[in-house]
Copies of this chain bind each other. A is one copy, B any other.
Amino acid sequence: MAKNDMSVKEELDQYYEELKKQNLGPLWYDLGHMVTKEPVHDVEPYLWKWKTIREYVLKAGKLLEPGKDAERRVVYLQNPSLLKRGLVGYGTHTLYAGIQLLLPGESAPSHHHSQSAIRFVIEGDGAYTAVNGEKTYMERGDMILTPAWTWHEHKHEGTEPMFWLDGLDVGLVKTMAASFFEPYEEETYPMEAPENYSTKQFSMGAFKKLNESKEPGYPSPIFGYKFDRVKYLLDEMTEADNDPYDGYAIEYINPTTGGSADSRIGTMMQKLKSGQQTKAHRHVHSAIFHVLEGSGYTVINGEKFEWEKGDFFILPPWSLHEHVNTGESDVFLFSFNDKPVMEKLDLEYSEVYEDNDGHQIVEKVFVPEN
């Protein structure tokens, strides 16, 4: 480049302008935005109080009738950091969380879609989720799978309102331009299998029925994952099982593969003993948390999010986080995440925080906007 700097600049500017007209771009200019040294994203942490959510969901119960006014009566979390940019608001860039209410006697009609979904029961019992015609009865703390493309519906045969979390990978499927949806031709898919069949089948990991296939496959042969078993397993854990970053933690699996129960949405239950505090780490995958039991706080990128039973909060991708149980009894934190997606795509990566004995300095305390 022999010319003087001024003329070079001018020449370049003119070049860039022409390039743009041709719908071409100079990589050397944009590389830094395309291929960043570390993940760059818009997702910020946020927290919702159960009290507020519950109130608004109940109000919807009075205003709307599912099947008539709404396919499903659900209030969903709108992470304001996603809203700001004019995007449809979800929990994270990939994950959606809604809170569904079903009143005694009500039902939600059968449909299926390319999104994967999990349910987590917050309050009540007596309702069932039917997946491809197999009913699974739902009790508080249970996790129920309705995997992508399975026909699913809900019906409440109990006497009190039922609340549950719907976790879907709406953001992922939208970004991938891969959404398909179809209502079932009738209100209800034919019921064929015995009730809770899948839960009973594989109740014992060390045995199989003579004619039972154990070939790896999707979806998981289990649809209902009972909380009493999760609790039993967590309570049986010893200090050796206590993970420094996640405490006592179990993942829900597909017993035929050993992998995540749903093939795209990861699900985890963590237990923290009274006073327990984890160390900080971060990972590419994002998550949405629900507090099943107990109270405490989570520090995310230096900001403190205080929570109690029923609350929800967002863990953005590549964000430092640590949990603390400030109560007298055990904390049970349920969460769902996009880890299986990141792992399938070989994009998962994690890092521990080493300064300050693994604990972040709290620089800010989150206050719900209201």
Which residues of A approach B to under 8 Å, CB–CB?
1, 8, 11-12, 15, 18-28, 30-31, 33-41, 43, 46, 48, 52-53, 56, 59-60, 63-65, 69-80, 83, 88-89, 93-94, 96, 98, 113-115, 148, 168, 170, 172-182, 194, 200, 202-211, 214-216, 218, 222, 225, 229-230, 232-233, 236-238, 241, 243, 246, 249-253, 255-259, 261, 263-264, 268, 284, 286, 317-318, 341-342, 344-349, 369-370
List of B residues within 8 angstroms of A256 by Cβ: 258
**Chain B residue nearest in CB terms to A18:** B56
Q: In the complex, are the beta carbons of A180 and B37 less than 8 A apart? A: yes
Nearest first, the 4 A-B pairs at minimum CB distance are A214-B258, A205-B205, A28-B70, A27-B74
Closest-CB distance, A236 to chain B (whole angstroms): 6
Q: In the complex, are the beta carbons of B261 and A179 less than 8 A apart? A: no
Docked pose: A284 CA to B56 CA in angstroms: 37
Q: In the complex, are the beta carbons of A63 and B342 less than 8 A apart? A: no
**Chain B residue nearest in CB terms to A226:** B206
List of B residues within 8 angstroms of A259 by Cβ: 214
* Interface residue from B33, B73, B180, B194 paired with A88 (Cβ < 8 Å): B33
Docked pose: A76 CA to B207 CA in angstroms: 28
**Chain B residue nearest in CB terms to A225:** B206
List of B residues within 8 angstroms of A26 by Cβ: 60, 74-76
Docked pose: A43 CA to B93 CA in angstroms: 19
Docked pose: A165 CA to B193 CA in angstroms: 40
Q: In the complex, are the beta carbons of B347 and A178 less than 8 A apart? A: yes
* Interface residue from B70, B94, B252, B255 paired with A255 (Cβ < 8 Å): B255
Q: In the complex, are the beta carbons of B31 and A346 less than 8 A apart? A: no
Q: In the complex, are the beta carbons of B72 and A177 less than 8 A apart? A: no
List of B residues within 8 angstroms of A60 by Cβ: 15, 26
List of B residues within 8 angstroms of A34 by Cβ: 88, 96, 170, 174, 179
Known: A206-B222, A210-B246. 10 other contacts (CB 8 A): A12-B63, A23-B83, A23-B89, A24-B56, A27-B75, A35-B179, A148-B346, A175-B175, A205-B206, A341-B345
List of B residues within 8 angstroms of A72 by Cβ: 27-28, 31
Docked pose: A27 CA to B259 CA in angstroms: 30
* Interface residue from B21, B23, B52, B236 paired with A22 (Cβ < 8 Å): B52
Q: In the complex, are the beta carbons of A210 and B71 less than 8 A apart? A: no
List of B residues within 8 angstroms of A89 by Cβ: 23, 25
